[in-house]
Homo-oligomer: A and B are copies of this chain.
Amino acid sequence: MTEIDSSQDTRSGAPARSRSSKPAPTIYDIAELAGVNPSTVSRALSKPGRISAKTEKLIQDAAKTLNYRVNPMARALPTGRTMTLGLIIADITNPMFFDVVRGAERAARESGYTLIIAESQESGEREAATAERVAPSVDGMILVTTRLADEQIADLAELRPLVVINRRIDGVDAIVPDLEPGIDQALTHLAELGHRSIGYLYGPSGSWMSSARWEALLAKSVELGMSIVEIGPGIPTLEGGRASMTRVAASGVSAVVAYNDLMAIGLLRAAQEKGLRVPGDLSIVGFDDIFGSDFTSPPLSTIRTPLALIGTLAVRRMLERIAADDRRPAHGSRGKAPAISTELVVRGSTGPAGA
C-alpha cells in the first residue's frame, strides 16, 4: 500500500483533447522518430537551410510519416504571431460585406493567413467590445462597416495594427475608393438624359461614407449646373429606401442617386408600387453594385465600388504593415489618393427625363 505513486503519471495535465483519439503528433514525436533534438526539428521545419540537408530530409520524412501539422497556438505563444486576421463587421446583414470577405479571404489565404469573422451588430459599445475580444488572437484587424467614433477607432489602433474600410480617419490606415470617376460618370449620364434636378438618398446619419458621397455629388452637380437635394437620412436597407418614397415624390426631382443599392432597390419597388414608371417617371442610380442589383426590373444602374478589391487591398496593406512590424499607418499614405476607382454601370433604371 504505497501512498505515493503519482510521480509516475507524467502527463497528468495533458489536454485529453477528446476521448478515443490519439493526440496530434508534436515535434517531440518527430524528434524521437528521427533521433534528433526537438529544437533541431523546429529549425528543420521552419528555417530551411539552418540544418544540414541530410538531417533535414530525415526530419521531413519523419514528419510526413506522422502526418505532422504544426500547432498554431503553440507557435503563436513564443513568436507573438497568430497568422490570423480579424474582420470586424457591424452588420453582417449588409450584402456589401460579402464581396469584401471574398477579396479579403483570398488575399489572406494566399499569404498563409487565416481570417476570423466577427459581427458586432448593435451599438458602438458592443463593437468596441467585440474588437477587444478578438484583438488578442489576431495580428491585425480590419473594420468593415464600423459605427465607432473616430476616437474609439484610434484607441483600437493602439491595440493592434488596424485598417479601416470605407472611412478616413486621421492616423489610421484606410482603404477608400475614389468616388470621383463613378460620380462624374453618373451625373454626366443623368445630365445627358436631360435631368436638371436630382435627389440624393442619404444613408445613416453618422455615416462617413454617406456624407463623402454627398460631398462629391454636390461638387459635381454644381459643376454641371444641376440642382441637387438631400433626402434623408435613412437606414441603409430596402426598407429605408421604401420609406423615402414619399419624400422623393414630394421633392419633385426626376432622378435619384441612393446611398447604396439596397436603398435604391427599395425605392425602385416602392415607386413601381405607386404606379411610377422607372425610368420613365423617375430615374434611379444605386451605389456599390452588390450581388443581385442586376436582378431587378429594370436592372439597376449603379456606381460600382470594387468591394472584393477593397477587401484584398485591406489585407495586403495589413500584411505589409505586419511585415514591417509597424504599428503606424503605411508611410506617407495618408495624403495619397487610393487607386481604387468607382465606375458607373448603366443598366435599365436610368432614362430620359420626363419621358
Contacts and interface: CB of A to CB of B under 8 A. Distances in A.
A102 interface: yes
A22 to B, nearest CB: 9
A293 B327 CA distance: 44
Given A118-B114, A292-B292, A327-B19, A77 B69 contact: no
Interface stretch (A47-55, A93-101, A180-188, A200-208): A93-101
Contact of A118 (B20, B21, B105, B293): B105
A80 interface: yes
Contact of A115 (B13, B118, B295): B118
Nearest to A83: B137
Interface in A51-90: 69-74, 76-80, 82, 84
Interface residues of A, number: 56
Number of copies: 2
A141 interface: no
Contacts of A101: 92, 117
Contacts of A136: 24, 69-73
A18 B92 contact: no
B76 A73 contact: yes
8 contacts: A15-B79, A16-B80, A18-B326, A21-B158, A73-B73, A73-B82, A73-B137, A265-B295
Interface of A: 13, 15-21, 24, 69-74, 76-80, 82, 84, 92-93, 95, 98, 101-102, 105-106, 109, 114-119, 132-137, 158, 161, 265, 291-293, 295-297, 325-328
